Structure 1
Amino acid sequence: MGRLNESSYSSDLVRGSIDTIILRVLLQADNYGYQIIKEIYEKSNHLFDLKEPTLYSSLRRLEKQKMIESYWGEETQGGRRKYYKITQAGREMYLQNCEAWRAARDMIDRLIDCRKEGEPV
């Protein structure tokens, strides 16, 4: 089998965690759409490019669930930006999702056991 390159990760696995990834960005500071996309792209070592429709769908869902709140910035030049900030409920959801991710990752590691052939068990 050929070696997978860095861009062949499963984007489905990443997409399933978008809400948690966005909450992580907002834990650092309030932010607006384009900057959230940029932060995620940079944090992924330029491997994951979150698309705007996916971002805004997630932001709407998180706001409806009261995990985040939005407000208009006070920019004096250019268009006003809509900022998002994490709520206490969002912080709690982020922590719960992190714990669930760790448990799932550990279980999958045990079930798949991706050691190379010949490595000790």
Structure 2
Amino acid sequence: MLVMSDIIRGYTDTFILAQLLHHDSYGYEINKAINDMTNARFELKEATLYTTFRRLEHGGYIISYWGDENTGARRRYYAITELGKQLYYENLNDWKDAKSMIDKILEDRQ
């Protein structure tokens, strides 16, 4: 039996970049959005999320900065760079190609 998280694990970077295309955000908000969009079927572990942030920032795909919260804890926000947008669209096209091939293989057998 296929495990959904195994199938989509390689797209963690792309999921985060997709969220940052809309607006700057912080870890909890990004994870909650992904969780909400998938009806709680996919949630990033905190260690995975922050490891991915570090990798993306080190690669120049995102930048981080501290927010100006007047109440509560100070948050580290992330913003996508032009290089990050380019990577997102490349990954999106790769996903579409892979999905098309998989659909063809599986649907032609039914």
TM-score range, shorter chain: over 0.9
Going from structure 1 to structure 2, the CA distance change for 1:75 and 1:111 (only over 3 Å counts) comes to same
1:97-120 Cα offsets, whole Å, 9 max, x none, are 00011011111112233664xxxx
Which consecutive residues of structure 1, in runs of 5 or more, have no partner in the other structure? 117-121
- Other-structure match for 1:82: 76
Other-structure match for 2:27: 33
Please give the alpha-carbon distance, in whole angstroms, between the structure 2 residues aligned to 1:104 and 1:78.
43
Counterpart residue identity of residue 55, structure 1: L
CA distance in 2, matches of 1:49, 1:113: 28
One-letter code aligned to 1:56: Y
Question: Residues 41 and 114 of structure 1: is their aligned pair in 2 closer, same or farther, counting only changes over 3 Å?
Answer: farther
Aligned equivalent of 1:91, options 85, 90, 102: 85
> How many percent identity over aligned positions?
46
Unpaired segments ≥5 residues, structure 2 = none
Q: Which runs of 4+ in 1 moved over 4 A?
A: none
Q: CA RMSD in A?
A: 1.6
Q: Distance in 1 between matches of 2:90 and 2:15?
A: 13
Which residue number corresponds to residue 119 of structure 1? none
The 1:102–1:83 alpha-carbon spacing in structure 2 relative to 1, beyond 3 Å, is: same
Picking from 5, 14, 34, the partner of 1:11 is 5
- Corresponding residue number in structure 1 for 2:46: 52
Supply the distance in 2 between the matched residues of 1:59 and 1:38 (Cα, whole angstroms): 15
Whole-Å separation in 1 of the counterparts to 2:109 and 2:32:
34
1:61 is aligned to 55
Q: TM-score, normalised by structure 1?
A: 0.84
TM-score of the superposed pair, with normalisation by structure 2: 0.92
Larger Rg, first or second structure (1 or 2): 1
Of residues 8-17 and 41-50 in structure 1, the stretch that sits farther from structure 2 once superposed is: 8-17
